[in-house]
Amino acid sequence: MSWGHAALDLAEDADERAVKRAYAARLRTTRPDDDPAAFQQLHQAYQAALDWARHRAHWQDEDEDEDNRGHDLCAAQATGIAEALQLDQALARSFAHDATAAPAEVVWTAVVDDADAHDPVRILDRGDTTFPPAAPAAPARATEPLPQPAAAQLDPGTFAQRVIAEAQQSEPAAFERWLQLRPELWSLRDKPLIGDHVLHHLLTHDAPICADNFDVLAQCFGWDDVRSGLDPYEANACRLRLHRLWVLQPRNQHGLARYLHRPQAPVNADEARTRLQRLTRPWQPWRALWDAWPAHRVAAMRDTLDLLGVHDADDAVPPLRPAQVAFWRALADGQRLSWPRMQLALLRSALCALVVLAVMTLLGVLGRAPAVAMQGVYAALLVMGVGALLLPLRSLGQWQLAEEHPPVRWPLLRLWLIPLLAIGALLVIHLADARIAGSALAWATLGLSIRRWWHRAGYVFQFNGWLLLGIWPFLKLGGLALMFGEIAVVGALLAWTVDAMTKVVHR
């Protein structure tokens, strides 16, 4: 039995008329305005029961046709049918005679006097099948059939676009009620087609829809059912992608704040709006640099892009600007030396130099010492130089400390850099006769070589007071040997050889 018959409390052999009566009776207590979900369920049960009744009647007709096909009527059956026809004719004549007879008194007398006069059964028994002609029937009035309005054909694709547009604009509760009140979704035939069009559009296009509205769609069209055939991982990836697009819209600042909020890094609506403005405003290099000079902003924008799933400029979707995304990603990449990072380092160095110059100038004015103000100029230039060189030196150290796999840029130059620096230090000391500069380069090369070997070998340094006491005499001797760059060159080449033999040759 159909589940629709069970829902309408009908028997299994209930026909189409019984189904319609039961549906009409239920409509008196279940209205779409009062309970849309119950009305939709009632309508689905009605359609299921109606389809079952129609198919059942069709099957019965086919069974009867198969039973009667190919069988001839025997003589007894033919005689029975003839007698039935004669009986029908006698009944018709008798009713016609009664209708044209005299008044009721005469009819009652005739019936009482001769009860068998107009009995059709007895007339058939006597074999008298000749009856007076029946009264002419009134001509039937010719009626023209009323024109039936043609049912509007539903376009699933067009209605799917309406569903998607409503999902982008409405709140989850309002969107769920809107779906329940749509008559287009009450049909068991059209609803799966609409759901397929909606799902295909969401999987292939970028439509900003919040996660709650996606869950409402999944429940309405049965995407969360294991029998739907939809990969749950693909559905979840689509849900997260559409939700990220939704929080990027300017009107969803509170949703973006909730999406970016973390216990260790809370984000309010104003901060979320500010971060979004940095990523969506037209590209202006100096303004972007000025926004990035505080150290914490680069980390905040890096976390924002990570949470939004934007890893490079190609992942930027409207309203994000690819130039803004590329700029903040370059600043967040601490492993590579890029032009935006150099610009930011120069800006920060210039700001620090201005602070030093202002302080030294103020001290010179207050103390009436012009020499102090001049020293402030030299100190500002020194700060600028150190700030400009600090980032390249740090990137150079990271480049040297990296492992052999995965391969890095310029592997041969990376391998032979330390020997080249050591040879250059010797040339500066002996050929250029600049021992101080050459010794400084040699000791810097020794520090880089030892750091490279120590890090790549996996050693961990743990400071100990007894160790400091043990190496203190050697530190004194090292202080005396600072002017001898040749010692640093030998030590740098020795540490480089051990590292090269361990990491490059043996592997």
pLDDT in tens, the chain (507 residues): 577 777 777 877 778 888 787 877 777 777 776 777 777 787 788 888 778 777 777 766 655 555 554 444 454 454 554 554 554 555 445 444 444 444 433 333 333 344 444 444 344 344 444 444 444 544 544 444 444 444 457 788 899 999 999 999 889 999 999 998 888 888 888 888 999 999 999 999 888 999 999 999 998 998 887 777 888 888 899 999 899 888 888 888 888 888 888 888 888 888 888 988 999 999 999 999 999 988 888 999 999 898 888 888 888 888 889 999 999 999 988 778 888 888 898 899 999 989 988 888 888 778 777 777 788 888 888 888 888 888 888 888 877 877 767 777 777 888 888 889 888 988 888 888 888 888 888 888 888 888 888 888 777 766 666 666 666 666 666 666 667 778 888 888 898 888 888 876 555
Q: Which H/E stretch holds residue 442?
A: helix 435-457
DSSP 136: P
Give yes or no for a contact between 437 and 428, defined as CB atoms under 8 angstroms apart.
Answer: yes
Taking alpha carbons only, the member of 488, 496, 372 closest to residue 425 is 488
Task: Give the C-alpha separation, 219 to 195, whole Å.
Answer: 11
* Dist CA 312 CA 307 (whole Å): 13
| Residues in CB range of 325: below 8 A, 6 or more apart | 279, 305, 310, 312, 313, 315, 316
Return the H-helix or E-strand segment holding 26.
Answer: helix 16-27
Q: What Å distances lie between residue 122 and 81, 94, 132, CA to CA?
A: 18, 12, 16
Q: What is the DSSP letter of 503?
A: I
Task: Please name which of 408, 439, 426, 436 lies closest in space to residue 503, comparing C-alpha atoms.
Answer: 408
Which one-letter amino acid corresponds to residue 203? L
- Residue 139 DSSP code: P
Phi first, then psi, for residue 421 (nearest 5°) are -65, -40
pLDDT digits (tens, 9 = 90+) for 159-208: 999 999 999 988 999 999 999 888 888 888 888 899 999 999 999 988 89
In one-letter notation, the amino acid at residue 25 is: A
DSSP conformation class of 231: -
- Those residues whose C-beta lies under 8 Å from the C-beta of residue 122, and which sit 6 or more positions away, are 116
Pull the structure tokens for residue 278: 């940095």
In 333-369, which ranges are continuous DSSP H helix?
Answer: 339-367
Give the separation between CA 89 and CA 91, rounded to whole angstroms.
Answer: 5
Q: Which two tokens stand for residue 364?
A: 């010179």
